[in-house]
Structure 1
């Protein structure tokens, strides 16, 4: 059966129009100064049905022929020791590692360093942004969430999902993390193969997958949107929380995620270089996404209630207070229409905490040196990650 040509099917829908004329989309346009149109839609649309074939073949050649433990150890060996064209390994392994070991001509290590420093010096604001804007806001896109539902993310729970997201984000945003064989490089390769493993499993076991409407599972266009979340949306969130961002840091953040995307097998022409390109790319992608559905609401509430079941805080009143603060930040960072669709609870004085935080951030930026903020942010973020590691590894929690 021949597939129909993808159209910007929701461009005249109320949720799309409101987002770009009243909501966060309008803010992104003002923040980036981008001019958007549908002129390039046909250049991007094919990627809705495009996937990482090299990663998929590696999974077929390694993971599907051995135990998961054996396959993982084998891949770790390739990551840490490298691959040459003469090695006696499956052709897919050569393709993947010769690509990721090849440093693209455009790579600028100094820019990557600046991007990493922005991530670190933003301290806990980075984690608030990832959770309450990037992750929560992503749940408003119904088709984007279908792989999560198909792989039973709700059963695994928000604590596990947050831990995995944080593990990946922190490990790719430290100094020199993306150098070949280093920790961030390792996380990028492993994440790429996890995506392939999940995609092949969905194709095999999830018989109700609607490729026509939802695209291929974990397709390249959805991957682009996800990584725009880590760059454009993340940076917009920091801005809303009162953080100052230099032009060099801004360029660095996009450069960092462009390289992470390259390692993950996302086609290079889908990886934006700046906030103008990112906003235009995101505009086109949102035109094929319907608003939140029942699955979206379930995912959103699983994330909201994570604070209540997370044993990092000992007492229930502390957990309830943390949940309240995250709800306040969600209402502050996302527009009201999205919050209503995701059924985010109404709470009293919901603007107080974010507004106080924004004011304190402006003062903190003026009084404390950039180097001290980078050190402090790195320490704080690693502490949160350590707490999550301890929780997930606790068999009683599982």
Structure 2
């Protein structure tokens, strides 16, 4: 199967696309402009590529009917001779040479130990980035995934974001590997549904493109680490590399080709910086979604326990002023003062990580909380692409 991108003749040039986008570098970090231009020229075509392996498997699932565990159904169809399902499983079982499960365990243990900070970093620092690009915001708006039910969206996201902290569960056949199969198929169904409903592929690229999905390590690896450190997390270089590898491998499991990922962390760092420089440009739709997110976090449990003005300060701390302003997130001097007090508590929690017995206890406690998420929060294939 041809999984290379095919850019429509009527598609805009890279310069025209970026000129219309007017992106904001995340956290004010700028890469070398020559290297950025070279990378962007090679990566741009992937804006027009979906995930043919998952799309064909999703169609096979739809034709077969039935319900139950998605990975089991894919395996059953593959065993029965379905070529699309067999091809998807072959791709999902292909573990890149750079994957190191021992290193990922160290990164996952770090995240588990810092569970309170992880919740803050994911909620206030990473979730907004999932609709920072105008096309991503349009996907949210078209499916009603965020505005319609923020609690469900948070639960779905948490299932994957927290679950991959147990990196052993990403091994083929394990439960987070199966979760990645399901998320990959959901993305395929949403993509096909939006295209069927008239999505302008030539102008915007395909929805949930390979290039968009390839931002995962930049969002949840590099940027998340920065967010954790902003609230007092103590992270070694080895733990940081292990955490980033978790998200590089998770992104590969979600269908992104190796061409868009690094073979080493140094290569991935450069890709992440390029990604962070080019594709964040909140538009009016993103600002509507952000307003809905702020509104709902203030009333939904458990975040309703956090004062609304403190939540505004957390958004601005995690995103940086330029990105927060682009989203229309207001400043809150009262929130900033309260965040200063929270910093003291979180810094104290971070210092506890240096005490070996306590560090182990905190990791086990965090692991227990994370495991409660299970897989029930994932969106089902039955409602993918709908406004439910």
Q: Give the TM-score of the pair, scaled to structure 2.
A: 0.83
Q: What displacement does 1:282 show?
A: 4.0
CA deviation after TM superposition for structure 1 residue 320, in Å: 6.9
Runs of at least 5 residues in structure 1 that lack an aligned partner in the other structure = 314-318, 390-397
Q: 1:345 to 1:4 in 2, by over 3 A?
A: closer
Instruction: Compute the displacement of 1:108 (Å).
Output: 1.3
Cα gap change, 1:280/1:106 in structure 2, threshold over 3 Å: closer, same or farther?
closer
Q: 1:219: which partner in 2?
A: 209
Count of residue pairs the alignment pairs up: 366
1:375 counterpart = 2:367: no
Rounded Cα–Cα distance in structure 2 between residues aligned with 1:273 and 1:353: 42
**In 1, Cα distance between the equivalents of 2:200 and 2:275?**
18
2:383 corresponds in structure 1 to: none
Paired residue for 2:164, among 159, 167, 172? 172
CA deviations 1:114-171 (Å, max 9, x no partner) are: 1211221111211111111111244332222221122222453211111100011122
Paired position in structure 2 for 1:330: 315
**Cross-structure match for 2:382:** none
Q: Which residue of 2 aligns with 1:120?
A: 112
Q: How does 1:1-398 map to 2 (within 5 A)?
A: 2-4=9-11, 6-9=13-16, 16=23, 19-20=24-25, 24-26=27-29, 37-63=36-62, 65-67=63-65, 70=66, 72-73=67-68, 75-78=70-73, 87-205=79-197, 207=198, 209-272=199-262, 276-285=266-275, 289=279, 291-312=281-302, 319=304, 321-367=306-352, 368-369=355-356, 370-382=359-371, 385=373
Give the direction of change, closer, same or farther, for the CA distance of 1:237–1:287 in structure 2 (3 Å limit): closer
* Pair 230,344 (structure 1): closer, same or farther in 2 beyond 3 Å: same
Asked whether the 8 Å contact 2:146–2:153 carries over to 1, the reply is: no
Q: In 2, are the aligned partners of 1:173 and 1:184 still within 8 Å (CA)? A: no
Contact kept, 8 Å, 1:7 with 1:288, in 2: the verdict is no
Q: How many Å separate the matches in 2 of 1:336 and 1:103? A: 39
**In angstroms, what is the RMSD of aligned CA positions?**
3.1
Tell me the distance in 2 between the aligned counterparts of 1:337 and 1:53.
37
SS of 1:73's equivalent? Answer: coil
1:23-80 per-position Cα deviation (integer Å, ceiling 9, x unaligned): 6132x87xxx9995322222111111111100000111112x144xx1x42733256x
Indicate if the aligned counterparts of 1:10 and 1:289 stay in contact, CA closer than 8 A: no
* SS of the residue 2:170 aligns to: coil
- Shift in CA distance, 4/229, structure 1 to aligned 2, threshold 3 Å: same
Deviations 1:328-367 (CA, angstroms, capped at 9, x unpaired): 2011122223222222233233323443344433333333
User: Does the 8 A contact of 1:328 with 1:351 survive in 2?
Assistant: yes
Change (3 A) 1:112 1:49: same
The structure-2 alpha-carbon separation of the partners of 1:10 and 1:320, relative to structure 1 and needing over 3 Å to count, comes to farther
* CA deviation after TM superposition for structure 1 residue 10, in Å: 6.6
Q: Note the residue ranges of structure 2 that are not aligned, 5 or more in a row.
A: 1-7, 378-387
Q: Tell me the secondary structure at the aligned position of residue 347 of structure 2.
A: helix
Distance change >3 Å, CA 212–CA 355, structure 1 → 2: farther
Q: Aligned equivalents of 1:74 and 1:132: distance in 2?
A: 31
Please name the residue that 2:3 is paired with: none
Q: How much does 1:98 deviate? A: 1.7
Aligned equivalents of 2:371 and 2:103: distance in 1?
Answer: 22
Q: 1:344 to 1:121 in 2, by over 3 A?
A: same
Task: Tell me how far 1:92 sits from its aligned partner.
Answer: 0.7
Label 1:228 to 1:150 Cα distance change in 2 as closer, same or farther (>3 A). Answer: same
Hey, what's the Cα distance between the residues in 2 that align with 1:177 and 1:35? 40
Cα distance change, pair 119–299 in 1 and its aligned pair in 2 (3 A): same
**Are residues 326 and 90 of structure 1, via their aligned partners in 2, closer, same or farther at CA, if it must alter by over 3 Å?**
same
Counterpart secondary structure, 2:334: coil
- Structure-2 separation of matches of 1:300 and 1:163: 17
Distance 2:338 2:35 in 1: 34
